[in-house]
Amino acid sequence: MKVAVLVAEIGSTTTVVNAFDGIGGPCPRFVGQGQAFTSVLQGDVTVGLKGAVEDLKGNLGVSELQWDEMLATSSAAGGLRMSVHGLVYDMTVRAAKEAALGAGGILKHVTAGKMRRTDLKKISEIKPNIILVAGGVDYGERDTALHNFELVAELGLDIPVIYAGNVENQEEIEEIAQEKGIRLYLVENVYPKVDQLNVEPTRSVIQQVFEEHIIHAPGMTTVRDMVDGPILPTPGAVMEAAKVLKEAIGDLVVFDVGGATTDVHSVTEGSEEVSRLLISPEPEAKRTVEGDLGVFVNRYHVVENVGREELLKDFPDLDELLEKATAIPGDDRSRQFSERLAEEAMIMSLQRHAGTLRHLYGASGKRTIAEGKDLTEVKYIVGTGGALTRLPRHREILAKAAGYGKGLELYPKKDAKVLVDNHYIMASLGVLSKRYPEDAVALMLSSLDWENEK
């Protein structure tokens, strides 16, 4: 059997392969899926990749499988670890964080202002895959970004550095990089003017650098030889899928509840009314990642956040459920418990992702301001990831994101519709969209059962 495109999602624990056919034609289709444990500990992730292909062949009932192209996403070997350094936390630092998270980065260290000795020690310890230096609006403050870049250069680490700060510094930054042998990537300023974000150029370069330099997991060099197209960080691939889907159907928010983390991707400009009240700008495409919210690895953190007493009302066998939990729940009671954890993780991630209205009282009376991401114009609430595509109550869980809150929160409204990535292929379609955007949208709409849901 031969298919057009095979997309591999190489995760920290599981490798999934998705097969697609008819790419480039009038009727692209999802053929099937296979999975296996990622084999980082065996010294070669291609072992897990080949195992996933074997599983796919078994699911398709074929002895041979060929493909014209292979694409990939990866979060193996700890994913895309980054450190981010800017000037003012609520301005350039925040803009740089948005760029890094939207590209699929995992932020290991973030600083505002001039870095100190302890910051440099931290960078040396975590050994990020990419260091992002920003700071200063264009033709504004220069010293902080230059100071921080010089300190990073003095570390002598073999780590690519992206500079996305004050454009006036670029020539001097280049000179320092050449002197110290730094692999430098110059990008447009992420915060070129006050209250103006410009994160997309940096996001694009982060993904480019990841593909060029960050394939450090054992065996990833071989995978690079096997892959014909781009390799994206898996969370960044989901963001790419969300962006092209938004262009097709309208404003949306995507929840991806996993075993260890919960990601939220929103693509919406929000309402004009709220935008006039915002005290600082928000990107159209925003990602937040909650590293403490997961239904398996971080189940104890979810319980702690919700409160044991609250959960004991519905689950008097709470301790037993926590003790015997597995990555894939094997019985009805375990599934019910995983559903509750998924629901709580989704709600908490919504609370952290979305903004709110605040009333301020002064000599001139009451004034209303808005802080954070406005989701009030979201038309679709999309679920992807294992928990929100495989657990029986996933649609009911997702529906709780609509109309949730007490009025001041900038959450999706009650009329927002629920869509589910039934084939669990959103990340694969994100990387596919880089080469075949129309096919990716068509396959996404099919996985969402769009014709019946719209």
Cα–Cα separations (whole angstroms), residue 105 to 95, 212, 274, 379: 14, 15, 29, 27
Cα–Cα separations (whole angstroms), residue 362 to 105, 165, 275, 368, 429: 41, 36, 22, 11, 50
On whether the CB atoms of residues 402 and 413 are closer than 8 A, the answer is yes
Task: Indicate whether 45 and 182 sit together in one domain.
Answer: no
| Domain assignment present for 311 | no
What does the angle CA 82 – CA 8 – CA 338 come to, to the nearest 5 degrees?
75
pTM exceeds 0.75 for this model = yes
| Domain assignment present for 447 | no
Task: Indicate whether 190 and 116 sit together in one domain.
Answer: yes
| Domain assignment present for 151 | yes
Task: Indicate whether 149 and 271 sit together in one domain.
Answer: no
Residue 128 CA from chain centroid, whole number = 17
Coil, strand or helix at 228: coil
In angstroms, rounded to a whole number, what is the distance separating the alpha carbons of residues 269 and 190? 18
Number of domains in the chain: 3
Chosen domain end from 185, 213, 241: 213
Chosen domain end from 213, 242, 277: 213
200 contacts: CB under 8 Å, gap ≥ 6: 99, 285
pLDDT the model gives residue 208: 87
Please provide residue 17's backbone torsions phi and psi, each rounded to the nearest 5 degrees: -120, 135
On whether the CB atoms of residues 268 and 252 are closer than 8 A, the answer is yes
Task: Indicate whether 85 and 70 sit together in one domain.
Answer: no
Q: Which CATH number is 58's domain given?
A: 3.30.420.40
Closest CA to 336 of 399, 262, 400, 387: 387
pLDDT the model gives residue 406: 78
Strands (E) across 268-408 are located at 285-290, 356-362, 365-371, 380-384
Task: Indicate whether 279 and 366 sit together in one domain.
Answer: yes
| Domain assignment present for 112 | yes
pLDDT the model gives residue 210: 84
Closest CA to 190 of 286, 85, 92, 288: 92
pLDDT the model gives residue 299: 93
Cα–Cα separations (whole angstroms), residue 172 to 52, 92, 119, 153, 232: 48, 20, 23, 13, 31
Task: Indicate whether 27 and 176 sit together in one domain.
Answer: no
Q: Is 15 exposed, middle or buried (0-12, 13-18, 19+ CB in 10 A)?
A: buried
Chosen domain end from 186, 213, 240: 213
pLDDT the model gives residue 327: 81
| Domain assignment present for 221 | no
In angstroms, rounded to a whole number, what is the distance separating the alpha carbons of residues 177 and 146? 11
pLDDT the model gives residue 223: 77
| Domain assignment present for 404 | yes
Task: Indicate whether 156 and 182 sit together in one domain.
Answer: yes
Domain extent for 92: 80-213
Q: Which CATH number is 176's domain given?
A: 3.40.50.720
- Give per-10-residue mean pLDDT for the chain (454 aa): 94 86 94 84 75 95 95 78 94 92 91 96 94 96 97 94 97 96 96 93 91 65 78 91 97 94 95 93 93 90 95 95 89 95 96 94 88 96 93 95 87 96 96 95 96 79
Task: Indicate whether 105 and 185 sit together in one domain.
Answer: yes
Coil, strand or helix at 166: coil
Task: Indicate whether 180 and 250 sit together in one domain.
Answer: no
End-to-end CA separation in angstroms for the chain = 34
Task: Indicate whether 168 and 189 sit together in one domain.
Answer: yes
Please provide residue 14's backbone torsions phi and psi, each rounded to the nearest 5 degrees: -130, 140
Directed axis angle between helix 234-249 and helix 94-102, to 10°?
Answer: 90
| Domain assignment present for 255 | yes
What is the total residue count of the chain? Answer: 454
Residue 258 CA from chain centroid, whole number = 12
| Domain assignment present for 162 | yes
Cα–Cα separations (whole angstroms), residue 87 to 43, 144, 150: 40, 6, 15
Strand partners, 265: 254, 287
Coil, strand or helix at 321: helix
pLDDT the model gives residue 211: 79
Task: Indicate whether 57 and 166 sit together in one domain.
Answer: no
Quote the longest CA-to-CA distance of the chain: 78
What does the angle CA 210 – CA 213 – CA 214 come to, to the nearest 5 degrees?
55
DSSP sequence for 60-77: HT-S--EEEEEEEEE--T
In angstroms, rounded to a whole number, what is the distance separating the alpha carbons of residues 341 and 397? 10
Task: Indicate whether 258 and 359 sit together in one domain.
Answer: yes
In angstroms, rounded to a whole number, what is the distance separating the alpha carbons of residues 167 and 165? 6
